[in-house]
C-alpha cells in the first residue's frame, strides 16, 4: 500500500482545531461547527464554489493512464501534483520510466521520456479526453449532490467506464471540442529549470529538423 503524504492545509486545519480545543475549554460538540467551517473551506476554490480535484494523465488514444481524485478544491495545480502518488514515485525513483534513447532517425543524443503538460500544444490530448469524458457521463454537467466519499467513487467509476467505452466504441469528435462541468484549477508558477528547458529545446530542434513532417508548417496558425 502506498501512503500519501498528508496535505499541509488539512494538517494545519487539524492542528488549529486541536489547539483551539486545548485553549478554549469548549467541548468537541461546541467545536463541531468550527470543524465544519474549516473543513469545508478547504474545498472552496478560487472560482467561489466547492469542488474536489480530478488530476489525470492520458495517452494519445484519449484514455486515462493515471488519475488522482479528491484533492481539496482550494489547492493549486502544483500542490495537487506534489501530493499525488505519481509524484511520490517520481521522487523516490520507483516509477518505471523507460530508459533514455535517441529519437527516431537519429543516433544521438539519448533523450529522456517526458510528460507533456501546460503551455504545450500536445496538452490538447488531455483537454480532449476531459471533453469526451464529461460529454459521455453527463452527471458532471451539474453539481454532485452526494457525500464527499460517494462523489469520489462516482468520479473513479466514471474514469474506469470512460476507458472501457473509449476502447470499445471510440468517441464522438464533437465531444473533443468542449468540456462541460470541469474547470481548470488555479495555476502556480513553477520554478525555472535549466535542465528542463535544455531537454525541451532539443525536442523542439528535432521536430523542426530530422523529425519534421511535410504538412506541419501548414497546420500552424
Cell representation of residue 69 = 481524485
pLDDT confidence of residue 155:
94
112-116: Cβ within 8 A, 24+ apart? 112/199, 114/199, 114/203, 115/57
pLDDT confidence of residue 2:
46
Burial class (CB in 10 A: 0-12, 13-18, 19+), 203: middle
- Sorted by where each begins, the domain ranges of the chain are 1-42, 51-208
pLDDT confidence of residue 1:
39
What's the CA gap between 179 and 53, in Å, rounded?
A: 15
pLDDT averages per 10-residue partition of the chain, 221 residues: 54 70 69 57 82 91 93 87 90 88 88 77 83 90 87 94 90 71 62 71 88 81 59
pLDDT confidence of residue 189:
55
What's the CA gap between 47 and 186, in Å, rounded?
A: 9
Residue for cell digits 474514469? 159
Could you give the 3-state DSSP secondary structure of residue 29? Answer: helix
What's the CA gap between 72 and 13, in Å, rounded?
A: 13
Amino acid at each position: 500500500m502506498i501512503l500519501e503524504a498528508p496535505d499541509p492545509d488539512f494538517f494545519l486545519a487539524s492542528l488549529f482545531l486541536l489547539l483551539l480545543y486545548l485553549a478554549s475549554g469548549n467541548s468537541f460538540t461546541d467545536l463541531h461547527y468550527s470543524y465544519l467551517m474549516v473543513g469545508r473551506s478547504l474545498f472552496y476554490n478560487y472560482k467561489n464554489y466547492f469542488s474536489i480535484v480530478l488530476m489525470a494523465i492520458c495517452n494519445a488514444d484519449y484514455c486515462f493512464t493515471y488519475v488522482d481524485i479528491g484533492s481539496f478544491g482550494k489547492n493549486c495545480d502544483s500542490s495537487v501534483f506534489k501530493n499525488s502518488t505519481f509524484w511520490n514515485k517520481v521522487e523516490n525513483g520507483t516509477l518505471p520510466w523507460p530508459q533514455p534513447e535517441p529519437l527516431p532517425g537519429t543516433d544521438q543524443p539519448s533523450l529522456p521520456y517526458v510528460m507533456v503538460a501546460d503551455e504545450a500544444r500536445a496538452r490538447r490530448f488531455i483537454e480532449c479526453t476531459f471533453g469526451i469524458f464529461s460529454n459521455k457521463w453527463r452527471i458532471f454537467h451539474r453539481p454532485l449532490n452526494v457525500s464527499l466519499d460517494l462523489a469520489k467513487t462516482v468520479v473513479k467509476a466514471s474514469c474506469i467506464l470512460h476507458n472501457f467505452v473509449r476502447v470499445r466504441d471510440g468517441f464522438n469528435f464533437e465531444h473533443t471540442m468542449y468540456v462541460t462541468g470541469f474547470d481548470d484549477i488555479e495555476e502556480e508558477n513553477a520554478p525555472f529549470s535549466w535542465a528542463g528547458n535544455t531537454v525541451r529545446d532539443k525536442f523542439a530542434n528535432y521536430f523542426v529538423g530530422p523529425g519534421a513532417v511535410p504538412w506541419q508548417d501548414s497546420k500552424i496558425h
